[in-house]
Amino acid sequence: MQPRRRAPAARWFALAALVLIAAGCTPQSVTEQGRAAYSLYNLFMYIAAVVFVVVSGLVVWSVIRYRRRDDELPTQTHGNNRLELTWTLIPTVIVLVLFVFTMQAQNKELDQSGKADVNITVTAFQWSWRFTYEGTGAEVLGSPGQVPEMVVPVGQTIRIKLISADVVHSFYVPQTLFKRQAIPGTDNFFDLTFEKTGLFHGQCTQFCGLQHADMVYRVRVVTQGEYQSWLAAATRRGAAGQPGT
Amino acid sequence: MATTELPLPALPEAHHEEPSGGIVDYLTTVDHKKIGLLYIFTAFAVFLAGGLLALLVRWELATPGLQVMGENTYNQVFTMHGTLMIFLFAAQVTTGLGNYLVPLQIGAADVAFPRANAMSYWLYLFGVLIVVSSFFVAGGPAAVAWTAYAPLSTSEFFQGTGMDLWIIGLAVVGVAGILGAVNLVTTIFRMRMPGMTMFRMPLFTWGVLVNQLLILFAFPPLTVVFALLFLERNFGAEFFDPTAGGSPLLYQHIFWFFGHPEVYIIILPIFGIISEVIPVFSRKPLFGYRAMVFAFFGIAALSFGVWAHHMFATGLVYLPYFSIMSLLIGVPTGIKVFNWIGTMWRGSITLSTAMLMALGFIVVFLIGGITGIFLASPPIDFAVNDTYYVVAHFHYIMVGGLLYGMFAGFYFWFPKFTGRRLSERLGRWHFFTFFIGFNMTFFFQFLVGLDGMPRRIADYDIERWTTANVLSTIGAFLTAVSVLIFLWNFFVSIRRGQPAGDDPWEGNSLEWVTSSPPPSHNFHHLPEVHSERPAFDHRHRDNPAFAAAHTDPERNQDRG
């Protein structure tokens, strides 16, 4: 009997371990704004892991310790006001604390009080993207077969104006830990300040019809100098419909 | 303790003849038990169809590239998977259990409106058939996701009869739900036997009551949004067209005003089932009965103030309000989980299949609930909304919560429905394959979602997502095997299962004092009701230690 009773306990611990592994699986944010979300996620994960281990531990313990041994009825207790009050108050306090940290992170992440260095209008359409660099004449237009690239300078505040030409889409670069819906008839603004150079995958996350899966783009974060020369070339090309190179 | 048996309510003479149980009988029945079974069988058939579609989705997604079907077919398949599971299975299978069990649990001979009850079932069936018929029209079924966001679902962007059949069928099912809710709510308020006060009702009946009240408030907005969409598609109304003063956001608001309570519509009766199964197999009364009832109402009330957490990523909703309301739902839900543990504490626990399913429920629901707390926080939601993280989260609630609870209920009440037990040996196989398969399917989706894989995509070209997707697909097929084991168990046990007797588990509520299956008028004799455990009191009527005076939550004694 002993090994059979141990089996579920081992399973719960394996699960708990997997939950902890999940903590390490959020990508580090590559934007200043996303850093707040990253540390908030980790805070949630630590508390969640403790709650999961405690609660599932209590379940496993009860099952092992209080399994039926004989026909005698156990004491018929109906409740305990003090205990019940305790496990009402503790979760309340936990969620209130989480709420306070949530608001702090959210205010940092959504702050747009700074001056924008680069203004880009992103137009989502079925099924690709157009990136218009305001005040420069540069534009990048993609199509489902041709992945467009949004080129931006590192360390500068990029203010995105997100619009949709047809149905609801969503702008998402996983490594920014941020997304925003593109809703027809609405201008949505947000800032991204990339902290390191590189090429990042982006994709529409709001189901938008037949070729939703093909609505992919890339963000290329380059140095200020590289950005200026790219911009000059792109401005000369105008709306040539070519991905940034 | 007095053991006088109460006179039964007067019944029309025709009810005393036991009907044949044949096809004509089921087609014309107004017996709540048969209608309950019709609901359960129909919903389960829908579940099997929705499950097949899920396997197609998993098969396609296992590796990058389009191997099994094209994008259009994929979009139809996942749309209909969600439609069948959420709209046509989840709420109706528990309505079926409620239909069968609620009158028995409150000591009534039938529901308040037996004919309206039958009509509600038949409307549901025809609604299902209308939705399913969209597979056979030109252009095929809807391919706009089960949420059918406008303007994608308007005629400008999605033509075809399939979409209109989808709207009509679901609207009919919605009306069936409202009608059924009127009936069940009235039954619970008006048909309880003498002595069965509200605070002596079994928790499953409470769960059904609150669930049906939620239906009364949440289904009308659903009907409204479908009516608006239908008018927009067919008569040029412009509710969702921004160029004509309409708003795409309006659709999301009305849809989720229904959509979030729908989650609790699905899960509250399941909480009820768990609250029946755990006390019986722990041989103790439910810990904190009143707190459990208040938690139902707490969840129900909060559920109408959280809808826009589905819309954080729109950037157009007031984040702090919807965040704190969503976080707070964790409190009454936590109370439930702790009270279940309190019930098992110092109990005498038997690990029957029903109990295993209930324990599995607690663990997977815990993961679903905890990840729900993450999603209530806008900065985290911005990162993982519309990725596989959300898919994993709500499948931990829906598959984890609903299916574990449903199977717990099936193993628990199958003896009452049929007079025979399901095989416990096959039940164990069912549980363990399901537990492993389910966690394999959905746990890895958390990881790939955190890594940025969007939901509802037919294809992906990022190689590092493949491992999680392959494991998830294997898990899905293992889950399918577990359902086959259950079906095998069902077909074997219904013919050759061990006879169960009236009360195989030493149950607490009134359905266990009548025969298995119960007669058409439910009871030949009813015991007096002095507590929330009339069957327990009846069984121990000669033992003064268990006299109901000590155990009645109405008197609220014996608490620490």
In a domain, A244, yes or no: no
In a domain, A139, yes or no: yes
pLDDT of residue B17: 58
Give the gap in angstroms from C-alpha A130 to the nearest C-alpha of chain B. 19
**A 29-68 residues inside an 8 A Cβ radius of B:** 34, 36-37, 40-41, 44, 48, 51-52, 55-56, 58-59, 62-63, 66-68
Give the gap in angstroms from C-alpha A80 to the nearest C-alpha of chain B. 5
In a domain, A75, yes or no: no
Candidate from B195-199, B213-217, B549-553 with smallest mean pLDDT: B549-553
Chain A interface mutation, best of B61, B74, B152, highest count of A Cβ atoms under 10 Å: B152
Tell me the C-alpha distance between B379 and A111, whole Å. 12
Q: Nearest chain A residue to B143 by CA: give it.
A: A209
pLDDT band at A12 (very low <50, low <70, confident <90, very high): low
Alpha-carbon distances of A233 from A87, A149, A237, B239, B552, rounded to whole Å: 64, 14, 6, 44, 82
Q: Do A15 and B363 touch (CB under 8 A)?
A: yes
What tokens appear for B285 in the block? Answer: 């009364």
pLDDT of residue A19: 57
Contacts of B291 (CB under 8 A, 6+ apart): A79, A84, A88, B335, B339
Residues across chain A: 245
Alpha-carbon distances of B245 from A186, A187, A208, B357, B542, rounded to whole Å: 12, 15, 22, 51, 73
pLDDT band at A242 (very low <50, low <70, confident <90, very high): low
Chain A interface mutation, best of B385, B386, B387, B451, highest count of A Cβ atoms under 10 Å: B386
- Both A62 and A151 in a single domain? no
Chain A interface mutation, best of B74, B338, B374, B448, highest count of A Cβ atoms under 10 Å: B338
A184 φ, ψ (degrees, to nearest 5): -55, 135
pLDDT of residue A145: 87
What tokens appear for B30 in the block? Answer: 């107004």
B486 φ, ψ (degrees, to nearest 5): -60, -45
> Rounded mean pLDDT of chain B?
93
pLDDT of residue A237: 83
Q: Count H helices, E strands: chain B?
A: 18, 0
| Among A104, A64, A204, residue whose Cα is nearest residue A147 | A204
Give mean pLDDT, residues B28-34.
Answer: 95
B65 conformational bin, left if phi > 0, alpha if psi -120 to 50, beta if neither:
left
What tokens appear for B138 in the block? Answer: 């030109």
Write out chain B residues lying below 8 Å of A28, CB-based: none
The 10s digit of each residue's pLDDT in A25-55 is: 567 899 999 999 999 999 999 999 999 999 9
Q: Nearest chain B residue to A56 by CA: give it.
A: B363
Give the gap in angstroms from C-alpha B175 to the nearest C-alpha of chain A. 28
Write out chain A residues lying below 8 Å of B284, CB-based: 74-77
The helix (H) or strand (E) run that includes residue A140 is: strand A138-141
Residue A223 one-letter amino acid: T
pLDDT band at B390 (very low <50, low <70, confident <90, very high): very high
Give the gap in angstroms from C-alpha A225 to the nearest C-alpha of chain B. 30
Contacts of A20 (CB under 8 A, 6+ apart): A49
pLDDT of residue A6: 47
Q: What percent of chain B stands above pLDDT 90?
A: 91
**Whether residue A24 has pLDDT greater than 90:** no
pLDDT band at B557 (very low <50, low <70, confident <90, very high): very low
What tokens appear for B183 in the block? Answer: 């009936």
Beta bridge partners of A151: A220
Write out chain A residues lying below 8 Å of B80, CB-based: none
The secondary structure of A192-236 as a DSSP string is EEB-S-EEEEEE--S--STTGGG-EEEEEEE-HHHHHHHHHHHHH
A61 φ, ψ (degrees, to nearest 5): -60, -50
| Among B380, B367, B369, residue whose Cα is nearest residue B450 | B380
Contact B367, B439 (CB under 8 A): no
Contact A15, B439 (CB under 8 A): yes
- Both A216 and A191 in a single domain? yes
Q: Do A172 and B149 touch (CB under 8 A)?
A: no
Give mean pLDDT, residues B61-71.
Answer: 93
What tokens appear for A58 in the block? Answer: 């209590």
Q: Nearest chain B residue to A18 by CA: give it.
A: B443
Q: Do B327 and A178 touch (CB under 8 A)?
A: no
Tell me the C-alpha distance between B476 and B51, whole Å. 9
Write out chain B residues lying below 8 Å of A89, CB-based: none
DSSP-derived pairing of the beta strands A118-125 and A157-164: parallel
Write out chain B residues lying below 8 Å of A6, CB-based: none
pLDDT of residue A28: 83
In a domain, A74, yes or no: no
> Rounded mean pLDDT of chain A?
89
Tell me if chain B has a CB within 8 Å of the CB of A15.
Answer: yes
Contact A70, A37 (CB under 8 A): no
Tell me the C-alpha distance between B43 and B49, whole Å. 10
Write out chain B residues lying below 8 Å of A177, CB-based: 379, 382-383
Contact B225, B150 (CB under 8 A): no
The secondary structure of B219-235 as a DSSP string is HHHHHHHHHHHHHHHHH
Smallest Cβ–Cβ distance between B313 and the set A52, A73, A170 belongs to A170
Tell me the C-alpha distance between A80 and B91, whole Å. 33
In a domain, A171, yes or no: yes
| Among B410, B284, B297, residue whose Cα is nearest residue B356 | B410
Write out chain A residues lying below 8 Å of B291, CB-based: 79, 84, 88
DSSP-derived pairing of the beta strands A149-153 and A157-164: unpaired
Give the gap in angstroms from C-alpha A138 to the nearest C-alpha of chain B. 27
Chain B interface mutation, best of A95, A111, A204, highest count of B Cβ atoms under 10 Å: A95
Tell me if chain B has a CB within 8 Å of the CB of A16.
Answer: no
- Both A191 and A100 in a single domain? no
B283 conformational bin, left if phi > 0, alpha if psi -120 to 50, beta if neither:
left
Residue B117 one-letter amino acid: N
pLDDT of residue B99: 97
The 10s digit of each residue's pLDDT in B466-514 is: 999 999 999 999 999 999 999 999 999 999 999 999 999 999 999 999 9
Q: How many CB pairs under 8 A join A and B?
A: 289
Contact B559, A81 (CB under 8 A): yes
- Both A178 and A231 in a single domain? yes
- Both A102 and A195 in a single domain? no
* DSSP H stretches of helix in B62-160: 71-82, 91-105, 114-133
- Both A133 and A177 in a single domain? yes
Contacts of B403 (CB under 8 A, 6+ apart): B434, B438
pLDDT of residue B554: 57
Helix (H, G, I), strand (E, B) or coil at B376: coil
Contact B378, B385 (CB under 8 A): no
- Both A187 and A168 in a single domain? yes
DSSP-derived pairing of the beta strands A149-153 and A216-222: parallel
pLDDT of residue B13: 47
- Both A124 and A225 in a single domain? yes
Contact B415, B348 (CB under 8 A): no
Tell me the C-alpha distance between B557 and B547, whole Å. 12
Give mean pLDDT, residues B241-260.
Answer: 95
**Whether residue B175 has pLDDT greater than 70:** yes
In b/e form, how buried is each residue of B162-190, taking b as 16+ CB within 10 angstroms? bbbbbbbbbbbbbbbbbbbbbbbbebbee
Measured at the CA of B44, the angle between CA B432 and CA B27, to 5 degrees, comes to: 150
Q: Do B387 and A52 touch (CB under 8 A)?
A: no
- Both A28 and A61 in a single domain? yes
Write out chain B residues lying below 8 Å of A210, CB-based: 71-72, 75, 143
- Both A165 and A233 in a single domain? yes
Tell me if chain B has a CB within 8 Å of the CB of A126.
Answer: yes
- Both A233 and A137 in a single domain? yes
| Among B540, B520, B532, residue whose Cα is nearest residue B557 | B532
Tell me the C-alpha distance between B376 and B209, whole Å. 27
- Both A164 and A219 in a single domain? yes
In a domain, A40, yes or no: yes
In a domain, A125, yes or no: yes
pLDDT of residue B465: 94
What tokens appear for B235 in the block? Answer: 């008569």
Q: Do B451 and A76 touch (CB under 8 A)?
A: no
Tell me if chain B has a CB within 8 Å of the CB of A183.
Answer: yes
**A 62-121 residues inside an 8 A Cβ radius of B:** 62-63, 66-70, 72-84, 87-88, 91-92, 94-95, 98-99, 102-103, 105-106, 109
Q: What's the number of domains chain A is made of?
A: 2
ipTM at complex level: 0.91
Q: What percent of chain A stands above pLDDT 90?
A: 82
Residue A227: CB atoms within 10 Å: 18
Tell me the C-alpha distance between B115 and B161, whole Å. 32
CATH code, A130:
2.60.40.420
Tell me the C-alpha distance between B128 and A47, whole Å. 43
The 10s digit of each residue's pLDDT in A177-233 is: 999 999 999 999 999 999 999 999 999 999 999 999 999 999 999 999 999 999 999
pLDDT of residue A129: 97
Chain A interface mutation, best of B348, B451, B462, highest count of A Cβ atoms under 10 Å: B348
B120 exposure class (CB count in 10 Å sphere: 0-12, 13-18, 19+): buried
Domains and CATH numbers, chain B: 20-526 (1.20.210.10)
Domain range holding A161? 118-237
- Report the predicted TM-score, pTM, of the whole model to 2 decimal places: 0.92
In a domain, A168, yes or no: yes
